[in-house]
Structure 1
Amino acid sequence: MKKPYYLILLILISLFSCKRNNGVTIKGDIRGLKSKWVYYKPVFPQMVRPSDSAKVTDGKFEFNFQSDTAFFANLVSISYLDEKGLRKPIVVANPYEPAKNHSRYTDFVLGPGLTTITGDFSKNTGAILNGGTQTDFYLRNITLPFIQMSEDSAVRNKQAARVERIIKRVPDAYWTLYAFNNLRFYFNQKELKSFYAMFGNEAKSSYYGRRLKLFIDNQPLSQNQFVNSIFADQEAKPVTLIDNTKKLNMVIFWASWCGPCRREIPSLRRITEQFSKDDVRFVSVSLDAKKENWLQALKKENMSWQQLIIPQQEYVKAQAKYNLSLIPKIYLVNNKNVIVKKIDGFDDGNEDRVKTFIADYLSKN
């Protein structure tokens, strides 16, 4: 008698499922760890309580996780309570660096399978982390998110080639995707699309993979083109960012919590007072998450020009549209929505540079 087809199907599904690694195990063995419990927590979102705990016996502890889908790597930390009841992280040393200058980290990348943490608190050298591909990749490429892309084209091309090699080596590396949270601002849409295509499907479907795709989809096709969005003013009325009837638009991205942004405001006042509103449209755009903080800052700073705020649901898209890697950021945009000058950050000399540029531009146009 032939077996029903559904039994064969169940067997095939079972065999396929066994190949997928859904389990995560962390085993710790740390001498001198006197805490009764250790606490596991994903690093993001921040400022939340640990999501799991494990009992410590003679310095040994173990965490076991089993998910319904394949576990994709994550940035995590493990902490304990010291003798005074203060929460402290278990610090991890990097074995791929010389012993005399081991860098030590409170967070680490946890991948599927078994990860071990061993150490001796009495030696104060940091615990040793051993895990799978994701963990090993993290430790070997720890500085990847902090690459400062050069303005020199030859050097920049070499840096980009290095990033490409790293992606191709481990297409599903969490740490590379995490690094692109910083690196994405250095590349145009064409370059980012090329990098994104190199990642594996699991990486693309992860949190940072989806976030990178959203950023790419909202980047302007040309880095010289300024996207003319509609944001809200103090009365929540929609206002177009660029006034195309003016010869020039000066757009300032800032936030109430940004110290350099607040220090720049006096010079912005002087700039706006010098030029006719018939020729130049001035607008400041806030990145504040809380509207009340923005409104409070407006009352204190008394800025007479147009003030807008980015709705929080549009913030991630705005980061891509205006490349908001840092603030304050000033864009000078003509009436065809073309960026004619950009100034990143705050400097005492910015005021004179902006005044000179606007005066010269208006005299020629």
Structure 2
Amino acid sequence: MKKPYYTILLMLISLFSCKHDNTVIIKGDIKGLKSKWVYYKPAYSFFSKATDSAKVTDGKFEIRFKRDTPFFADLVQLNYLDEKGKQQFIDVANPYEPSKNHSRYTFFVISSGTTTITGDLSKTEGAILKGGPQSESFLKNITPPYIRISKDGIRRTAQAERIKKIISENPDSYWSLLALHGFRFYVDHAQLKELFNSFGDEAKASYYGKKLKQFIEEQPADKNQFANSVFNDADEKPVNLVDNTKKLNMVIFWASWCSPCRQEIPSLKRIAAQFNKDDIRFVSVSIDAKKENWLPVMKAEDMPWQQLIIPQQVFSKAQAQYNLGFIPQVYLVNNKNIVVKKIDGFDNGNEERVKTFIADYLAKN
């Protein structure tokens, strides 16, 4: 009686294994490739070392390996040594651009399955890449991760619509998901969630898919609701970010390496000196990765208010909670943990406006 169940179990395991095969195959057949070896390497650093290689025979080669980590928008390169021993890259032409201005790239995106690269190095159009929907999606939409989200609401909406259209046309694109991950600080929670849910299961299961899902889960649905986290002071003592006995809390996110943050400190000192400490609490929160980098700068700046640092084990969560895509950022938070004003970046003109806002708020509350 047990045999049929055992057989079904084996069939299910086999089916699951086939469906989730992470084998990457890159086949090349390139005329004029006069090299004994071709090398595979990540594209994010010119000085990064090759992680795989393949022998070249009459311009033909095959690189095969299996990923043991989730896929993401892996930009990779193929290079070789020419007859003079000089490193050269195999350029990939973009067939989705007008023929008169075909761009040539030294990188492409990998995914599971087979990608073929053919061409003739003596010709100007570069190699031709086929196979792999990830590379195809990348070549069709190279620019999205490099878009700078506008502060203008109308333009930002148009940008979001463009991103939504790209996602709908490429629901499993790691490259498009990378773009959305880069925009996560600049679109509101509901919109980010809607765009993320437009992706297919394959993209959601990828590296950036998992990171973005976690970010959305930890991001407050209401941007005006301020999480009262517990961070550490210089003595590793846990301290609440917001003091709910005060009418107002000024929370300043900064870092020792951030020049605009440090330029802002004299202005913050003048603001703090103007108001009664019984009404308003000031607290600076460092995003430094290392406490030893933060401590000497914090002491040198001599800020006469509470100083905290975000523990690294909760930094990703804090990024989502406080939208820490850039610094300095200043939040004015009331005793009900509601954001009453947010100031992005350092501006010499902020000081008087902030003083006026605080004075008016304290007078009314």
- After TM superposition, the score normalised by the length of structure 1 is 0.84
For residue 208 of structure 1, report the CA deviation from its aligned partner.
1.1
Question: Would you say the 8 A contact 1:77–1:89 is kept in 2?
Answer: no
User: What is the distance in 2 between the residues matched to 1:264 and 1:91?
Assistant: 46
Q: Counterparts in 2 of 1:40-51, with a 5 A limit?
A: 40-42=40-42, 49-51=49-51
Query: Who is 1:111 aligned against?
Result: 111
Instruction: Indicate the SS of the match to 2:62.
Output: strand
Task: Give me the whole-angstrom Cα distance separating, in 2, the residues matched to 1:216 and 1:361.
Answer: 32
Moved more, 349-358 or 316-325: 349-358
2:288 match: secondary structure: coil
2:293 equivalent to 1:293: yes
Q: What is the one-letter code of the residue matched to 1:171?
A: P
- Is 1:75–2:79 an aligned residue pair? no
Shift of 1:294: 0.8
Report deviation, 1:106.
Answer: 4.8
Q: In the alignment, which residue of structure 2 is the partner of 1:132?
A: 132
Find the aligned partners of 1:105 and 1:4 in 2 and give their Cα distance. 53
User: Take 2:349 and 2:86, find their aligned partners in 1: how far apart are those partners?
Assistant: 46
Q: Shift of residue 95 of structure 1? A: 3.0
Size of the aligned set, in residue pairs, is 362
Distance 2:88 2:256 in 1: 32
Aligned to 2:166: 166
Partner of 2:66: 66
Contact 2:115–2:129 under 8 Å retained in 1: yes
Greater shift after overlay, 50-59 or 251-260? 50-59
The share of aligned pairs that are identical, in percent, is 64
Matched, 1:358 2:355: no
Distance 1:132 1:36 in 2: 26
Instruction: Please give the per-residue CA displacement for 1:229-288, whole angstroms capped at 9, x wherever unaligned.
Output: 110011111111111222221111111222222222222222222323222211111111
Is 1:278–2:265 an aligned residue pair? Answer: no
AA of the residue aligned to 1:75: D
1:169 Cα deviation from its structure 2 partner: 2.6
In structure 1, stretches of 5+ residues that fail to align are: none
Question: How much does 1:26 deviate?
Answer: 1.4
Counterpart position of 2:346 = 346
> How far apart are residue 48 of structure 1 and its match?
6.5
Q: Which moved more, 1:217-226 or 1:97-106?
A: 97-106
What per-residue deviation string (whole Å, max 9, x for no partner) do you get for residues 321-358 of structure 1?
Answer: 01111111111112221111111122222223322322
| Residue 141 (str. 1) matches residue 141 (str. 2) | yes
Per the alignment, in what secondary structure is the counterpart of residue 184 of structure 1? Answer: coil
The superposition leaves residues 133-192 of structure 1 with CA deviations (integer Å, 9 ceiling, x where unpaired) of: 111111111122233444555544443333333323332211122112212222333223
- Is contact 2:42–2:48 with CA below 8 Å preserved after alignment? no
C-alpha distance after superposition, 1:195-234 (max 9, x if no partner): 3333222222222111111111111121111111110011
Where does residue 307 of structure 2 map in the other structure?
307
Residue 326 of structure 1 aligns to a residue whose secondary structure is coil
> Kindly tell me: are residues 208 and 269 of structure 1, through their superposed partners in 2, closer, same or farther at Cα, counting changes over 3 Å?
same
